[in-house]
Amino acid sequence: MATKKHYQVQIDPAMCKGTEGCGLCLHVCEESVLQRAEAMNARGVHPAEVVETDRCTGCGLCVLHCPDLAIWLEAAAVAA
């Protein structure tokens, strides 16, 4: 049975410096997985949040471009 990888984007909103000043993850994502959160974090900025996890291809650009270790990927094999 074929399996495909399913990627779960993990975001720690407390570590995110905010899409207003940063937003690099949103900027480099080519699949529109992420968006600016409506709620503010404790820092008083709007962190990134996942819109649509199924669109994620696991390219990892968001992880590579985050200056704050606020975003990472967890992968799991799922039956196709």
Number of Cβ within a 10 Å radius of residue 19? 20
Nearest CA to 10 out of 62, 78, 59, 65 is that of 62
Stretch of 29-37, 48-56, 68-76 contacting other proteins, by CB under 8 A: 68-76
Tell me how far, at minimum, the Cβ of 43 lies from other proteins, in Å.
Answer: 9
From 3, 5, 53, 69, residue interacting with other proteins (rule: CB under 8 A)? 69
Residue 21 binding other proteins, by CB under 8 A:
yes
Residue type, 39: A
What distances in angstroms separate CA 36 from CA 42, 47, 54, 72, one per listed residue? 15, 6, 18, 17
Which residue ranges make up the site for other proteins (CB under 8 A)?
10, 12, 14-15, 17-18, 20-24, 27-28, 45, 64-70, 72, 74
